[in-house]
């Protein structure tokens, strides 16, 4: 029944019965950074963590600010972006549970983080966490793997930004978003239909991600509807009608 790519959260959680209550209830105990820690070590780390909530739209941290906290995303979606001095903006990544946010080993962030939906995170003070990381190889290893995944996806998006047409970009975004949302929902123990999801980004947010304008994004949606590749209800609820065709548009090779 379980999707092979998804950590079977419910089952694993039961092994953590002696965790601190906050960790026991944590949505990402079994798949996030902490999954590498046993109850004792986690107890230790728990001393420096704090749960924080952000409403959709709120800023989590800022480019120029010194990093005070790192965080693990427990629920919701976080947007990472950069801006040019004249205000032009580019989204450089989306964070889903159980992603880590912040720049390890540096005292300055190199991007803005804001809450795309309502977000719950578990925060760690920077200095303490860096020390902790250096003395806990298993934790550092896990974080390294999360970082490698982020690098992979950043490079994937570079190909998209540099070489895809507007239509292809939108197709690629829809597929990527649907997959990640699907995984995140299964993680929460929710039912999830892969081809049917709520697009949580506004057209403006999508255009910041794809390096396009709002109008161009909107036109591509219309084209995809016309071609019967997707259907849209209320401008926010997407139905993927022809995934193979979208895959081809998005350049997902199928030999």
Binding partner of 239, given a second copy, DNA, none, CB within 5-8 angstroms per partner class:
none
Among 39, 218, 227, 241, binds DNA (CB under 7 A): 218
Using CB under 7 A as the binding rule, whether residue 125 contacts DNA is answered as no
Region binding DNA by CB under 7 A among candidate stretches 44-52, 106-114, 185-193, 207-215 = 207-215
| Closest listed residue to residue 175, CA positions, set 121, 117, 229 | 229
Among 150, 176, 239, 242, binds a second copy (CB under 8 A): 150
Nearby residues of 67 by Cβ (< 8 Å), 6 or more positions away: 61, 102, 103, 106, 107, 108, 109, 126
Region binding DNA by CB under 7 A among candidate stretches 15-23, 97-105, 185-193, 217-225 = 217-225
- Minimum Å distance from CB 78 to a second copy? 14
- Minimum Å distance from CB 83 to a second copy? 8
Binding partner of 154, given DNA, a second copy, none, CB within 5-8 angstroms per partner class:
a second copy
Check: CB of residue 89 under 8 Å from CB of residue 208.
Answer: yes
The answer, yes or no, to whether the previous bond of 98 is cis (omega within 30 of 0) is yes
Residues 251, 11: Cα–Cα separation, whole Å: 36
Site string for a second copy, 188-227 (x = CB under 8 A): ----------------------xx----------------
Distance of CA 153 to the CA centre of its chain: 11
Segment 18-47, which members bind DNA (CB under 7 A)?
A: none
Check: CB of residue 171 under 8 Å from CB of residue 246.
Answer: yes
Residues 227, 84: Cα–Cα separation, whole Å: 36
Q: Which is nearer to DNA, 39 or 213 (CB)?
A: 213
Check: CB of residue 62 under 8 Å from CB of residue 101.
Answer: no
Binding partner of 163, given a second copy, DNA, none, CB within 5-8 angstroms per partner class:
a second copy
Residues 224, 229: Cα–Cα separation, whole Å: 5
The torsion angles phi and psi of 230, rounded to 5 degrees, stand at: -140, 165
Q: Tell me which residue has tokens 């590498």.
A: 36
Q: What is the largest CA-CA distance in the chain?
A: 57
The site for DNA (CB under 7 A) is made up of 165-167, 202-204, 211-219, 221-222, 232, 234-236
The site for a second copy (CB under 8 A) is made up of 80, 82, 84-86, 88-90, 92-93, 103-106, 110-111, 134, 137, 140-141, 143-145, 147-148, 150-152, 154-159, 161-164, 210-211, 251, 253
């Amino acid at each position: 029944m379980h999707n092979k790519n998804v950590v079977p959260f419910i089952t694993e959680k039961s092994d953590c019965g002696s965790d601190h209550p906050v960790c026991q209830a944590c949505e990402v105990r079994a798949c996030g950074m902490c999954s590498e820690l046993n109850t004792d070590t986690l107890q230790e780390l728990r001393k420096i963590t704090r749960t924080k909530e952000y409403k959709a739209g709120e800023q989590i941290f800022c480019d120029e600010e010194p990093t005070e906290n790192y965080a693990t995303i427990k629920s919701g979606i976080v947007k990472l972006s950069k801006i040019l001095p004249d205000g032009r903006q580019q989204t450089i990544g989306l964070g889903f549970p159980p992603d880590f946010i912040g720049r390890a080993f540096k005292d300055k962030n190199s991007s803005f983080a804001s809450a795309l939906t309502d977000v719950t995170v578990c925060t760690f003070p920077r200095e303490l966490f860096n020390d902790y990381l250096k003395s806990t190889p298993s934790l550092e290893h896990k974080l390294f793997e999360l970082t490698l995944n982020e690098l992979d996806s950043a490079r994937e998006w570079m190909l998209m930004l540099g070489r895809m047409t507007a239509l292809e970009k939108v197709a690629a975004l829809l597929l990527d978003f649907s997959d990640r949302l699907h995984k995140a929902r299964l993680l929460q123990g929710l039912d999830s239909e892969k081809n049917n999801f709520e697009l949580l980004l506004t057209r403006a947010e999508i255009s910041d991600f794809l390096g396009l304008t709002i109008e161009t994004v909107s036109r591509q949606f219309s084209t995809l509807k016309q071609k019967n590749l997707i259907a849209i209800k209320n401008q926010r609820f997407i139905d993927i009608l022809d995934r193979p065709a979208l895959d081809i548009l998005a350049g997902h090779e199928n030999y």
